[in-house]
Amino acid sequence: MSENRISKVRAREVYDSRGRPTVEVEIRASAGVVGRAIVPSGASTGRHEALELRDLDSTRVGGLGVSKAVANVERELAEAIRGRALEDQVGLDRLMIELDGTSNKSRLGANAILGISMAAADAAAKSTGKELHQRIHEIWHDLASDDPGVPLDPLLPMPMVNLISGGLHAGRKLDFQDFLMIPIGATSFRAALEMTLDVYRSLGAVLRDAGDEGVLVGDEGGFGPRLVSNEQALERCLVAVERAGLRPGVDVAFALDVAATHFLDTDTGCYRLNSEGGSLLEPEEMVDRLVDWVDRYPIVSIEDGLAEDDWSGWRILTDRLGGRVQLVGDDLFVTRSDRIARGAREGTANAALIKLNQVGTLTETLQAVLEARRCGFRTVISARSGETEDTFLADLAVGCCGGQIKVGSVARSERLAKYNRLLRIAEHLPGAFAVGLF
């Protein structure tokens, strides 16, 4: 037997940043090394995502247990993959997809399958003395090298960082989920992070000065202040950038994750803004609102400006703003190559958010990145609101030349773990930073 075979598979329930159970997988290679990974978990989950298998047993951890997924890893999946070569990530992932047999991994659970997929990549890296991002880059290179025009060199990503949280991530009044910044003027990853920290600190002071003592942070570390409107969040961010001595639109630009799926009124097809007395906006009116903001604030990226199945609204949005800003599909695309391809065909969006657990294997994640690149779309490699100390995402962003990363804010260690990992990787990749995107 070659040294790089799967000899043992273990799994357990561990807890994520919201204290919810999630799946950790360990894969022992025959050489003796152990690869390990913890699966993340979302809150503003899209309808078309792969299924996260939960026990739904209300007598344990509020029904959120993942013991069935753990058992699926240790029994059926372990049996199928034991003895397989760790070098063949694509074959391993394909085998698990076929074994599951459903279109959304609902039989064995995307959390079970993804845990193995990630841990296998980690075990393969360790078995050969490579860094994880190097191993991911090898797989990426094999998948992408036939496509001229797709970037192949590993790259430190530009961060898109949460400043203020609303929506399902911060229980206050804002409808829009994330108000983010992009340090567009930075020329290195470290400089990007320093600028971000300056703005974050400055925003804390701005919010306190405005009377919001005891500012809470949301699930992703962004501030969760009491504000009177969605737009006031942008105004506060603008003041924070200026007070940090940075130039809005030159050093720092803004991004929004509207997460509009989660305030769509399904009866009317309109968008309900609770922060504005429950007023209902037609898709065209939502687009008008976003265009107005782009006119008045240095916004360079808008994610999920409309809902996950509002393809016609998305087309209007793309017609009006696609030439001016990055329009990112998250719930719209759910890291699925077929939905990204449809987006390109129908002229909706111009970028894709990429989340491992939306699709459920490393291979399919890389294929979605590749599909996006083939379509001329940018990619943003993204964490979930439920994260852990696992830093796989940082290596993924570098290894697949993702260009941008979205991890949340610069508070809470499950977020900083990824940034700190990128700082370490940056020491080995000097100069490889995604400049000039905006």
Report the sign of the C-alpha dihedral through residues 345, 347, 348, 352, in that order: positive
Q: Is 43 among the residues that bind ligand PGA (CB under 6 A)?
A: yes
Of these residues, 105, 126, 355, 406, which one is catalytic? 355
Closest CA to 302 of 365, 359, 353: 353
**Distance in Å, CB of 405 to ligand PGA, minimum:** 12
406 is a catalytic site residue: no
Site string for ligand PGA, 189-228 (x = CB under 6 A): ----------------------------------------
257 part of the interface to Zn ion, by CB under 5 A: yes
Q: What's the token pair of residue 248?
A: 């809005």
Specify whether 173 is catalytic.
Answer: no
3-state secondary structure 399-410: HCCCEEEEEECC
Among 17, 72, 275, 385, binds ligand PGA (CB under 6 A): 385
For residue 79, give Cα distances in angstroms to 67, 158, 438: 17, 40, 48
Give Cβ neighbours of residue 75 (< 8 Å, ≥ 6 apart).
none
- Taking CB under 6 A as the criterion, the residue among 67, 382, 404, 409 binding ligand PGA is 382
Q: Which two tokens stand for residue 207?
A: 């919010």
* Among 185-193, 197-205, 234-242, 252-260, the segment contacting Zn ion (CB under 5 A): 252-260
Residue 109 CB, nearest distance to ligand PGA (Å)?
17
Looking at beta carbons only, is 108 or 306 nearer to Zn ion?
Answer: 306
Pairwise CA distance, residues 281 & 103, whole Å: 34
The tokens describing 299, both together, are 């916004």
Q: Please name which of 27, 132, 2 lies closest in space to residue 82, comparing C-alpha atoms.
A: 27
Give the Cα separation of 412 and 278 in Å (integer).
32
Q: Which does 364 bind (CB under 5 to 8 A by kind): Zn ion, ligand PGA, none?
A: none
Task: Determine the interface stretch with Zn ion among 72-80, 145-153, 275-283, 330-338 (rule: CB under 5 A).
Answer: 330-338
Indicate which of Zn ion, ligand PGA, none lies near residue 382 (CB less than 5 to 8 Å, by partner kind). ligand PGA
Q: Which amino acid is at 429?
A: L
Query: What are the counts of helices (DSSP H) followed by strands (DSSP E) for the chain?
Result: 14, 14
Taking CB under 6 A as the rule, does residue 44 contact ligand PGA?
yes
Which residues are known catalytic residues?
Answer: 220, 355
Give the interface with ligand PGA as residue ranges (CB under 6 A).
42-45, 177, 257, 259, 330, 382, 384-385
